[in-house]
């Protein structure tokens, strides 16, 4: 059922300290590696949101024992062999990460499985994964010749590959790495540009081996993993909404603690610095963490328009909707380009954010591979729609803080996909 929410508007500042929920990408992968490791894996600060719960549910269907406690998840792994044929279809809900990475894992398992998802997943391209996986010898069929879910996977023996990725996608890369870990030999995977490397860091965390030399990833099949303890950092993609809110709402000072600072994910910080944001990052000095983390402080800032494109795009692809909002409050023109990947997210995020920010009065136009924003503009009230996309919904909720009149958000509960406490956290920091 469609949910509508009247949003807080005309905030007098974002003030306080907070921790954002655990990183979504790392939470997914911690379950997956915990599943194929031998022994117990304890995951602290696991993101208990819809997408990651979908991953957990799918692996429970394959016989994995998982216990949930207040602030941790315990996975009792039995190695690759511990995964058993599910009795029913594997429903990933809204999670493209679950669908694509799990396809790579299941390609080498000696049983039949079927992956389905919601209406959004049914529209998202899967050939980018099923095509490369077929080169390993994987037997995967899907709607429209493997382009869309449902995906039917008859797992079996895999051979190593030497493959150049045609799309900069951490999900495609990770699916291939999971297949390569089951192949009989050494695989080489070349990235066009660097993408988030959580799968690679996780392999090392669980006692495995993988190398990346200038974008050429080599991985051996037949590796065994050991259960371990994982402390998931705060999700910088969730933090981004609060970073932008504090930068654009007058009278703000915000401190975000224990945020993941993996260099393949910090494009949002680089862009905010280039736009003139008053932002400070202090990295944690703990040396035993497998992922960098730290504290970020942001204050209300005078911003300027810039051009954003090229190799930085994969490191901020999920933050581009809220960066578009940031640009509406910057003096001058901001151009976002090379961001075609936004078209195949939960929605076409270029069309979604452009159309909805226009409703609020933004001077913004879509282009073939991004958008052009002219600032600085005042924002007004209106009825906007997340279109079922969590990142569009959260961006519009932040926009409402600047709006002169009331904003009503349709499909407001989309935020539950990654950040169930988003509205209450935002309200607790906003001065009315």
Residue numbers in the known binding site for phosphoenolpyruvate are 24, 96, 124, 171, 349, 391
| Token reading at 201 | 């860091």
Q: What are the distances in angstroms from CA 357 to CA 6, 183, 200, 248, 371? A: 16, 47, 37, 15, 12
Our answer to whether residue 258 is catalytic in this structure is no
Q: Which of 235, 258, 318, 385 is catalytic?
A: 318
- Measure the CA–CA gap between 258 and 222, rounded to whole angstroms: 35
Residue numbering of the annotated binding site for 3-phosphoshikimate? 24-25, 29, 169, 171, 318, 345
CA 149 to chain centre: 20
Residue numbering of the annotated binding site? 24-25, 29, 96, 124, 169, 171, 318, 345, 349, 391
User: Catalytic site residues?
Assistant: 318
């Amino acid at each position: 059922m469609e949910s509508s929410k009247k949003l807080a508007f005309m905030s007098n500042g974002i003030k306080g300290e907070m921790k954002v929920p655990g990183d979504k990408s790392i939470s997914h992968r911690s379950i997956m590696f915990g599943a194929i490791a031998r022994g117990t894996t304890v995951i602290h600060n696991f993101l208990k949101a819809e997408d990651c719960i979908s991953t957990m549910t799918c692996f429970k269907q394959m016989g994995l024992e998982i216990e949930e406690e207040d602030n941790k998840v315990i996975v009792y792994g039995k190695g690759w062999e511990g995964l058993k044929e599910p009795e029913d279809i594997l429903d990933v809900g809204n999670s493209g990460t679950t669908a694509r990475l799990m396809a790579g894992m299941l390609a080498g398992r000696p049983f039949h499985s079927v992956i389905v998802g919601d209406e959004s997943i049914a529209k998202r391209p899967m050939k980018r994964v099923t095509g490369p996986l077929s080169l390993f010898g994987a037997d995967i069929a899907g709607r429209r010749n493997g382009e869309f879910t449902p995906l039917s996977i008859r797992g079996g023996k895999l051979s190593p590959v030497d493959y150049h990725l045609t799309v900069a996608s951490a999900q495609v890369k990770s699916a291939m790495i999971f297949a390569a870990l089951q192949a009989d030999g050494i695989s080489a995977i070349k990235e066009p540009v660097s993408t988030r490397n959580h799968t690679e860091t996780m392999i090392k965390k669980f006692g495995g081996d993988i190398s990346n030399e200038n974008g050429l990833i080599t991985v051996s099949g037949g590796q065994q993993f050991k259960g371990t303890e994982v402390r998931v950092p705060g999700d910088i993609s969730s933090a981004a909404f609060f970073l932008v809110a504090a930068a654009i709402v007058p009278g703000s000072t915000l401190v975000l603690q224990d945020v993941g600072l993996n260099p393949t994910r910090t494009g949002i910080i680089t862009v905010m610095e280039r736009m003139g944001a008053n932002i400070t990052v202090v990295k944690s000095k703990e040396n035993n963490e497998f992922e960098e983390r730290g504290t970020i402080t942001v204050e209300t800032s005078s911003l300027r328009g810039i051009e954003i494109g090229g190799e930085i795009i994969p490191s901020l692809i999920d933050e581009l909707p809220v960066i578009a909002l940031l640009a509406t409050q910057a003096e001058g023109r901001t151009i976002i380009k090379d961001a075609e990947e936004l078209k195949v997210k939960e929605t076409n995020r270029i069309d979604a954010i452009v159309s909805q920010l226009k409703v609020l009065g933004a001077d913004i136009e879509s282009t073939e591979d991004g958008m052009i924003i002219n600032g600085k503009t005042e924002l007004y009230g209106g009825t906007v729609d997340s279109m079922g996309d969590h990142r569009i919904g959260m961006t519009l909720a932040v926009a409402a803080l600047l709006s002169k009149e009331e904003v009503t958000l349709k499909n407001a509960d989309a935020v539950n996909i990654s950040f169930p406490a988003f509205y209450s956290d935002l309200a607790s920091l906003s001065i009315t």
